[in-house]
Structure 1
Amino acid sequence: MKTVFSYVRPYKWPIAIALFLMLIELSVELVQPLIIAKIIDDGIMKGDQSVIWTWGGVMMLMAFVAFLSGATNSFFASHASQSFAFDVRSALFKQVQQFTVATFTKFPTAGLITRLTSDVTMVQNVLFMSLRIMLRAPLLVLGSVIMAFIVNAYLAMFLVIGAPFLIIFLYIMVKKGVSYFALVQVRLDRVNRVLQENLQAVRLVKAYLRGTFESSRFEKVSNLLKMDTVKALRIMEIILPLLLLVMNISLLAVLWFGAREIQSNNAQIGELVAIVNYAMRMTGAFSMFAFIIMAFARAKASAERMEEVLLVNEGLERDDESGKMHGIIKGEINFKNVTFSYPNTPEPVLQNISFDVKSGEKLAIMGATGAGKSTLMQLIPRFFEVTSGSITVDGKDVKNWPLDQLRQAIGLVPQQSLLFTGSIYQNLAWGKVEASTDELQQAAKQAQIHSSVEQFAKGYDTRVGQKGVNLSGGQKQRLSIARALVRKPEILLLDDSTSALDVKTEASLWEALDKEEATMLVVTQKIRTAKGADRVLLLDNGRIAAYGSHQELIETSDLYRQIAESQQEQEVPSHAPDVN
């Protein structure tokens, strides 16, 4: 929790002012019973109207001061808590941006979303309530005990008889509450994950009529959340009745022995009224303890979950700024005996991969599903680190290139086309922020999407829905390609990025890309695409099955020849027309 609450330090002065104002409120509340006792003993019992009016006026003035202090306290408490939440949320998001792809596998997306939303809000609310009422409640109890001893030490003893028991009881409840509410937040993660998956696959759910199944699945995880929340709240609900029971017993003891003290002239009526007033204030404060403990337990659990993210040291992307290096110029790529396994996975995905791509060449990467094609592509921009072997770009190991320089030279088009909410113009400029309109349009023309964009009513200002929901698959792919081309990269990585394009559009696209000077690695399943490459890399179960030009592989590789023949058969109509 220290890491999370270290973000409070910049707001120490607003917090100090809020606490000072809260102490003024508290002081007024603690002094009031003394004034009431004086009005009773020196005013009402002696019939002195001047005492009643004088001290009554003092009480009114103090109440007004408490009111102003409370209102101003809320302002500073809100400022401190909201600013603290902003800083923590920003720090979490910045930390997540530094995660390597391997680190992301340790933190499910739904869990990260919960940490940046629900968990931050939980801690923010506790900070605000602490400055407003949470600290006030225990201080009111402590202050009431002290003031009660000042008024009458004998009667005050009966207020603190149950204190040791209450302290032990509250400690146990806080400990249990933290563990229970940590589990509740985990359950909330799972609910968010199921909800996220369902919303992302809503078309598939409808197409396969799986709405009932998905509702059932959501009910199961939601029911687990409900049960654990009820269990946690049930534990917390035990606190208030027990606290009130102990305090009511103490209050009865004060009244019983206080009456005997008045009868024997060892105490005044005003003193008994003051002690009872303090007891009532303590009871009111204790009634807030259940809420305070529950909020604190949830906040502690949330803070620990956020700290898990903030304290990640390994698996972060950091640039080595120790040496100034020239940027990538040629884009030459060399794989030498590269083997790679995913974290916590013993079986290698790629084994002993060696090949090279010269500047400006195009390499087609082929293979069955799961052969390791996409994984190979992800090793070049260092989304993952190789297990053994080396990858060099322009003769230097990718580990020795600063990440910003390495990735600035790469244009990546992922297998799944991802677009962001915003205009088409903004999505294209995402590839190069400072790009001019002419540059964006030129990239769109190369990607064969310019004419389609021009047909939209608002052209490049057309709004793209979430993940490009209002665009076809082919349009999304071509926009993704245009976004990469805007960068004018030295290395262009296309991960099966033309699967949704028709033959004519794809042919035009490759014709335009052939004019690019970039080194290209293209994951494809199409032989006609491989034909246009300088060389073809055929993968089979993570190993190189064949490597060479299209013609060389046709002559030397049985597997490649089988793929080529199967695709030729698919392209030939099964029932040829009779020409006789």
Structure 2
Amino acid sequence: MFRLFRYLKNYKKESVIGPLFKLIEACFELAVPVVMKRIIDIGIANEDMPYILRMGGIMVLLGFLGLACSLTAQFFAAKASVGFGTALRTDLLRHIDRFSYSEIDKIGSSTLVTRMTADINTAQSGVNILLRLLLRSPFIVVGAVIMSLTISVKITLIFLVAATCLAFVIYKIMSITIPRYKHIQKTLDRTNLLTGEALSGARVIRAFSRQQDEEKDFDKLTDELTDLQIKAGKINALMNPMTYVIVNLAIAVILKASAHQVNIGSITQGDVLALINYMNQILLALLAMAILVTNITKMQASAMRINDVFDIEPTVTDDGNTEVTADTSAPAVEFRGVSFSYHDSEEYALEDISFTANRGETIGIIGGTGSGKTSVINLIPRFYDASKGEILVDGIDVKNYPFRQLRHKIGIVPQRAVLFKGTVRDNMKWRDSSADDEEIINALKLAQAYDFVMEKPDKLDEMIHQAGKNLSGGQRQRLTIARAFVGHPEIVILDDSASALDLATDARLRKAIAEQTGDMTVFIVSQRISSIRNVDKIIVLDDGKIAGTGTHRELYQSCDIYREICLSQLSEKEVREIG
């Protein structure tokens, strides 16, 4: 937890002023019983109304001064805690941005979202409460005891016994409830995960009529969460009545002991009232300390989860900002004996992959599910690093490129079409922010997206909803394809990016790519033979290994796996034309 306090370094002034004003407020609070004592012993005893009014005015003034100090302390504590949360959130996001796909796959995006939001909010709230109560509550307890000692040492012993009993009760309750709250937090995380899955997969759940099963799972988890919260709540609910019982008993004992002291003249009636007030101040301070400890415990748990993310070092690192000089005579992309495994798995997802792709060539990659097609193309922009072998772009190992230079060369269309909230123009400029409308329109025409965009009322200024929810699957895919071609990248990767397109649109897209890509090197990953049959070179993958390389006709004659795929997709006429 203390590792996170470095994010308060820019708020040292606020971190000092906040607690300081809380201490000043506590001093005013401790002074109130003294004023009340004087009103009773002097003002009321002597029936001195002017004195009573004067002392009453002082009490009101102390109240206003305490309020002003409290508001000032809250302002500075809030400023420091919000700044702390902002700095922590920014730094954590920067750290996560350095993660490769490997780290994100291992941790899980939903877990990272929870750490970025709920855990940081908990830590931020903890800092706020810490700055306000860490010094104030102990100061009130100690100050009230000292002030009581100035009135009566004997009666102060009752304070100490009562305070010890109060502290013991609070400690016992917290020692039981804090572990339960940790369990509640874990169960809440599971509930959030299940809720997220149910919402994101709502269509699939309905398609398979599994609503009742999901409801049962959700009910089971929420019942468990409810049961844990009720048990913790019942135990926690004992705190107030038990503490007030102890305080009331202590007050009764104080009154009993004070009666004799008043009779013999050792203390006054005002002293008795002051002692009772100090007793109540100690009670409230101890309860505040209980709240403080509870929040610190929650903050500590959240801090551990946040630090767990910080402790993960990216496996794919950017070695610097010095750009390298490309060898234009070398192949655009070359794999040399590349092997790759996920998450330190002993089994390779890819094994001994070697091929070259020259400038202006279009390369098709095909294979069955899990054959390693996406794994191959994810290694080119260094979303993952190869376990063995070398991957060269323009004759230079991709590990020697700065990320920005390498990825600026590449336009990528992932399997899942991802669009962001904003205009069509905003989304088209993600790869190249300097692109003008002419470049965007050319890319839209190539991707067969121009017509439907121009039919929109606002054309390039048409708003796209979050994740492109106001567009069809085919429209989203065409826009992501267009985005990849904006800025004329040297390498374009299309990862099964036409799966939602009808055959006619797919054919027009392939024709446009063949005619307009010029010296671009294009990789087309597809399950469809029709999407890659006319490319310059086809790579067939099977169980992470290259089963064949060549043209459509060459592979049909020499590669059994490719021939099986052809026979399963092509008509008898098309098969005869190959043969």
Alpha carbons of structure 1 residues 432 and 54: separation in structure 2 relative to 1, 3 Å = same
Indicate yes or no: 2:571 matched with 1:569. yes
Shift of 1:281: 1.7
The farther-off stretch of 487-496 and 315-324 is: 315-324
Q: Which residue of 1 aligns with 2:88?
A: 88
Q: Which residue of 2 aligns with 1:332?
A: 332
Q: Which residue of 1 aligns with 2:496?
A: 496
Q: Which residue of 2 aligns with 1:278?
A: 278
Residue aligned with 1:19, SS:
helix
Residue 530 of structure 1 aligns with an amino acid whose one-letter code is: I
C-alpha RMSD over aligned residues: 2.6
Residue 560 of structure 1 aligns with an amino acid whose one-letter code is: Y
Structure 2 contact 490–520 (Cα < 8 Å) conserved: yes
Distance 1:148 1:253 in 2: 15
Q: Which residue of 1 aligns with 2:448?
A: 448
1:269-291 CA distance string (max 9 Å, x none): 22222111101222233344444
Structure 1 contact 158–254 (Cα < 8 Å) conserved: yes
- Runs of 5+ unmatched residues, structure 2: none
- The percent of aligned pairs where both chains have the same amino acid is 34
Alignment of 1:103-114 (within 5 A): 103-114=103-114
Distance 1:168 1:397 in 2: 65
Distance 1:108 1:230 in 2: 31
Shift of 1:370: 0.9
Residue aligned with 1:127, SS:
helix
Residue aligned with 1:106, SS:
helix
Structure 1 contact 340–348 (Cα < 8 Å) conserved: yes
Residue 263 of structure 1 aligns with an amino acid whose one-letter code is: N
Structure 1 contact 178–300 (Cα < 8 Å) conserved: no
Q: Which residue of 2 aligns with 1:577?
A: none
Alpha carbons of structure 1 residues 283 and 172: separation in structure 2 relative to 1, 3 Å = closer
Structure 1 contact 331–491 (Cα < 8 Å) conserved: no
Distance 1:372 1:232 in 2: 50
Alignment of 1:176-187 (within 5 A): 177-187=177-187
Q: Which residue of 1 aligns with 2:214?
A: 214
Distance 2:316 2:183 in 1: 30
Q: Which residue of 2 aligns with 1:309?
A: 309
Structure 1 contact 182–302 (Cα < 8 Å) conserved: no
Q: Which residue of 1 aligns with 2:532?
A: 530
Shift of 1:172: 6.0
Residue 538 of structure 1 aligns with an amino acid whose one-letter code is: V
Distance 1:546 1:383 in 2: 25
Alpha carbons of structure 1 residues 236 and 10: separation in structure 2 relative to 1, 3 Å = farther
Q: Which residue of 2 aligns with 1:576?
A: none
Q: Which residue of 1 aligns with 2:124?
A: 124
Alignment of 1:44-55 (within 5 A): 44-49=44-49, 51-55=51-55
Structure 1 contact 443–485 (Cα < 8 Å) conserved: yes
The farther-off stretch of 439-448 and 210-219 is: 210-219
Alpha carbons of structure 1 residues 319 and 476: separation in structure 2 relative to 1, 3 Å = same
Residue 561 of structure 1 aligns with an amino acid whose one-letter code is: R
Structure 2 contact 166–283 (Cα < 8 Å) conserved: no
Residue 43 of structure 2 aligns with an amino acid whose one-letter code is: G
Q: Which residue of 2 aligns with 1:393?
A: 393
Alpha carbons of structure 1 residues 27 and 359: separation in structure 2 relative to 1, 3 Å = same
Q: Which residue of 1 aligns with 2:438?
A: 438
Q: Which residue of 1 aligns with 2:236?
A: 236
Shift of 1:13: 1.7
Shift of 1:487: 3.4
Distance 1:328 1:250 in 2: 87
The farther-off stretch of 48-57 and 469-478 is: 48-57
Alpha carbons of structure 1 residues 100 and 239: separation in structure 2 relative to 1, 3 Å = farther
Structure 2 contact 324–400 (Cα < 8 Å) conserved: no
Structure 2 contact 110–193 (Cα < 8 Å) conserved: yes
Q: Which residue of 1 aligns with 2:41?
A: 41
Indicate yes or no: 2:33 matched with 1:29. no
Q: Which residue of 2 aligns with 1:521?
A: 523
Alpha carbons of structure 1 residues 104 and 33: separation in structure 2 relative to 1, 3 Å = same
Distance 1:275 1:316 in 2: 64
Shift of 1:167: 4.6
- Report the TM-score when normalising by structure 2: 0.91
Q: Which residue of 1 aligns with 2:253?
A: 253
Shift of 1:483: 0.5
Structure 1 contact 319–404 (Cα < 8 Å) conserved: no
Shift of 1:513: 1.6
Distance 1:180 1:316 in 2: 36
Distance 2:507 2:92 in 1: 45
Residue aligned with 1:161, SS:
helix
Shift of 1:236: 3.5
Structure 2 contact 85–120 (Cα < 8 Å) conserved: yes
Alpha carbons of structure 1 residues 100 and 229: separation in structure 2 relative to 1, 3 Å = farther
Distance 1:331 1:222 in 2: 58
Shift of 1:571: 8.0
Structure 2 contact 321–402 (Cα < 8 Å) conserved: no
Distance 1:528 1:50 in 2: 101
1:504-535 CA distance string (max 9 Å, x none): 32222222222312112211122233322221
Q: Which residue of 2 aligns with 1:202?
A: 202
Residue 11 of structure 2 aligns with an amino acid whose one-letter code is: Y
- Runs of 5+ unmatched residues, structure 1: 574-580
Shift of 1:378: 0.9
Structure 1 contact 328–406 (Cα < 8 Å) conserved: no
Shift of 1:445: 0.9
- Report the TM-score when normalising by structure 1: 0.91
Alpha carbons of structure 1 residues 160 and 328: separation in structure 2 relative to 1, 3 Å = farther
Distance 2:248 2:572 in 1: 87
Alpha carbons of structure 1 residues 374 and 175: separation in structure 2 relative to 1, 3 Å = farther
Residue aligned with 1:352, SS:
strand
Structure 2 contact 23–135 (Cα < 8 Å) conserved: no
Shift of 1:49: 4.6
Aligned residues: 572
Structure 1 contact 179–301 (Cα < 8 Å) conserved: no
Distance 2:535 2:439 in 1: 26
The farther-off stretch of 246-255 and 451-460 is: 246-255
Alpha carbons of structure 1 residues 109 and 174: separation in structure 2 relative to 1, 3 Å = farther
Distance 2:261 2:573 in 1: 107
Residue 391 of structure 1 aligns with an amino acid whose one-letter code is: I
Residue 35 of structure 1 aligns with an amino acid whose one-letter code is: V
Distance 1:359 1:394 in 2: 9
Structure 1 contact 338–387 (Cα < 8 Å) conserved: yes
Alpha carbons of structure 1 residues 106 and 526: separation in structure 2 relative to 1, 3 Å = closer
Distance 1:297 1:417 in 2: 42
Residue aligned with 1:105, SS:
helix
Alpha carbons of structure 1 residues 170 and 108: separation in structure 2 relative to 1, 3 Å = farther
1:380-407 CA distance string (max 9 Å, x none): 1111122222212222222221222111
Indicate yes or no: 2:293 matched with 1:269. no
Distance 2:229 2:108 in 1: 22
Shift of 1:472: 2.0
Indicate yes or no: 2:68 matched with 1:68. yes
1:464-505 CA distance string (max 9 Å, x none): 223222222221111111010013211111111122223332
Q: Which residue of 2 aligns with 1:413?
A: 413
